[in-house]
Structure 1
Amino acid sequence: MILEALGSAVLGLILAWAAAQRLAHRLPARPLVYCTGIAGALFGDFVTRTALGPGTALLSLLGAAVISVASLSLLLRPAGRLRRRSATA
């Protein structure tokens, strides 16, 4: 169980690093991105393990990756300036 949590944390760190490299212009400060990736992966592992039970390490890591990516996506800012249309247009 400890190794599964450690693996999830490492997976979240790798996903956060990849997001920070690829989308640096759209994300906030890197420490926040790394913490969000790790916390999302640990939470995803917890939820998946709670739902499926013990003995499903690969599925727990998959759940960790999904929740980590979802939580990292919440940090994204819009790429460009938003254009607002008037109600009559």
Structure 2
Amino acid sequence: MILWEALGSVLIGLAVSWTALRRLPARYGQFRSRPLALATGPVAALFGALLGHTVLGPGHTLGTLGVSLGVTVALLSLLLRPAGRPRRSATA
């Protein structure tokens, strides 16, 4: 069962990162690096699945995959660069 959770979470991570790269409009910002975003998705999902499996225990596959999805979305959101003009620093 753990193998299916791991495989499912990696597929979720790939799907979320690919969809985010393709579908996010420019007004929300852009990703710093396309390969970094594609690599972060599966790794974050696998970490989320490990965390979910540890907390929820065996037999909660849907809950584990839900935690995996949440961690993936949270970590991918950290890679977004805001749209618009860059801020000036206080020292400039």
**TM class by smaller structure:** 0.7 to 0.9
CA distance in 2, matches of 1:83, 1:30: 23
Structure 1 residue 24: Cα displacement: 7.5
Deviations 1:38-88 (A, max 9, x none): 11100111111100100000000000000000000000001111456x8xx
Percent identical among aligned pairs is 48
Q: Which runs of 4+ in 1 moved over 3 A?
A: none
CA distance in 2, matches of 1:24, 1:4: 31
1:43 matched to 2:47? The reply is yes
Listed as ranges, the gaps of 5+ residues in structure 1 are: none
Count residues with an aligned counterpart: 86
For 2:7, the equivalent position in structure 1 comes to 6
Per the normalisation by structure 1, the TM-score is: 0.87
Query: Comparing both structures, which one devotes a greater share of its residues to strand?
Result: 2
| Letter paired with 2:10 | A
Listed as ranges, the gaps of 5+ residues in structure 2 are: none
